[in-house]
Amino acid sequence: MKILVLGADGYLGWPTTMYFAAKGHEVLGIDNYIKRQFAAEVNEEPLFPIKTLQDKIKYWNIITKSNITKYAIGDITNYEFLSTVIKDFSPDCIIHYAEQPSSPWSMFSYENAKRTIENNLIGTFNVAWAVKEINPDIHIIKLGTSGEYGSPNTDIPEGFFEYEYRNRKETRLYPREGPSIYHTTKIQDTDLLHFFVRTWGLKVTDLMQGPVLGIVTEEMLLGNSVPDHTLFTSFHYGEHFGTVLNRFVVQAICDYPLTVYGKGGQTRGYLNIKDTVQCINLAAETPPESGKLRIMNQMTEVFTVNELANRVQIAGTKLGLDVKISNVPNPRKEAEEHYYNPEYSKLLNLGLQPNYLTADVIMEMMQIVQQYRKQIKQNTIFNCNSWNT
């Protein structure tokens, strides 16, 4: 297959680029480095320095003795750029990660909220329009978020559900309401893609992904037992761009109490970064039929924040760390205890082999973070901005 990865410099984009390249697919990675800019604005750099996409791909091609992985630097909100790339490369599948991915960042200021709306909606619109114009057969895989659903008092289906109102039945997208501007844009993206699918028969998979954890994927090992750090992906641990488990691991390593927001009963479905790339591949190998939006919930285990903190504490103890947990005032407007029961069988049925969150997984992360302990910026570990003031 020919795979176009949008946002190929990112935490998930880069491992995805390598994953498909390692399988022998032709991959073209695109990025405009806007996430690097966004992260720098809030003083959050990755734990270890990351080469540019150009240099990562050059290095990858050298080390794998291959030349099928390419890059293009540009902004997908620029239709001229995006449509030219799609015409020239002629992909079978577009993997769309090129969105502002942080909910706290989207809530930080007027400018951040506006840029999140513009970047995410115009980017997704351009992808859909270009595919409709150039080749409606191209499969679009868009990274959604399980946060679109919020925390309803019912089970959460994988996208659509049948409901009854006044003794008549209908099937539509489950009603979604998210806790941030970022989440709202993801709901809007889904509705936009659904419209394109209904109207022009596109083939779209929307993956409602839970928070991702982890650092290393198979491709960083290159067949060895120790990863090649030059191939590492951008690992964030700050308030804005670090996902919760990654943040906890860094806090544990530098003797900072794990910061649990409020009561810590917030429940989500999580997955390992190794499973993200697996899921994307499973989706790419099985394109949906034209005209039907396919939604799959992308997660492998459900935890409360307290459960995550406890697991990090246990793993830390095994490594001789004294990990403390601290409940801090919740900066977010969200339920701290709630019903949560998402369905997530579709990807398992396609063959997903989950990498569950064992103590070994956390300890492996801790050992890598330990090597970069001196580079941890203390003020990035917890710098809490309230969302609703």
What residues are labeled active site? 145, 182, 186
Select 169 or 374, whichever has its Cβ closest to a second copy.
Answer: 169
Task: Please state the closest distance from residue 153 (CB atom) to a second copy, in A.
Answer: 5
Q: Are residues 213 and 312 in contact, defined by beta-carbon separation less than 8 angstroms?
A: no
Closest CB to a second copy among residues 191, 255 = 191
Residue 89 beta carbon to a second copy: minimum distance, rounded to whole angstroms: 20
Rounded least distance, CB 231 to a second copy, Å: 37
* Residue 307 CB-half CA count within 13 A: 13
Of 25 and 186, CB closest to a second copy: 186
Least distance from a second copy to the Cβ atom of residue 112, Å? 11
CB atoms within 10 A of CB 195: 13
* Coil/strand/helix, residue 199: helix
Dist. CA 211–CA 242, nearest whole Å: 10
**DSSP E strand boundaries for 257-359:** 258-261, 267-272, 294-298, 301-304, 325-328
Collapsed DSSP state (helix, strand, coil) of residue 24: coil
> What single-letter DSSP state applies at residue 375?
G
Q: How far apart are CA 71 and CA 266, in angstroms?
A: 39
Residue 135 or 375: which CB sits closer to a second copy? 135
**110-134 and 181-200 helices, crossing angle to 10°:** 20
Sign of CA dihedral 148, 237, 72, 28: negative
149: Cα within 13 Å, side-chain hemisphere: 31
Distance in Å, CB of 315 to a second copy, minimum: 34
Burial class (CB within 10 angstroms; exposed 0-12, middle 13-18, buried 19+) of 154: exposed
CB 148 within 8 A of CB 178: yes
Q: Report phi then psi at 302, rounded to 5.
A: -110, 130
Give 17's contacts (C-beta < 8 A, 6+ positions apart).
5, 8, 27, 29, 57, 60, 69
- CA 323 – CA 249 distance, rounded (Å): 10
Shortest distance (Å) from residue 102 CB to a second copy: 16
* DSSP state for residue 98 in the 8-state scheme: -
Residue 179 or 227 with smaller CB distance to a second copy: 179
Burial of 174-193, coded b for 16+ CB within 10 Å and e otherwise, reads bebebbbbbbbbbbbbbebb
Nearer to a second copy, 8 or 187 (CB): 187
CB of 198 or CB of 373, closer to a second copy: 198
Q: How far is the CB of 168 from a second copy (least distance, A)?
A: 4
Q: Which residues bind a second copy (CB under 8 A)?
A: 79, 110, 113-114, 117-118, 121-122, 125, 129, 133, 152-155, 157, 161, 163-166, 168-170, 172-175, 177-181, 184, 187-188, 191-192, 194-195, 198-200, 333, 339, 387-388
Residue linked to tokens 């810590």: 264
Angle between helices 34-41 and 110-134 (to 10 degrees): 170
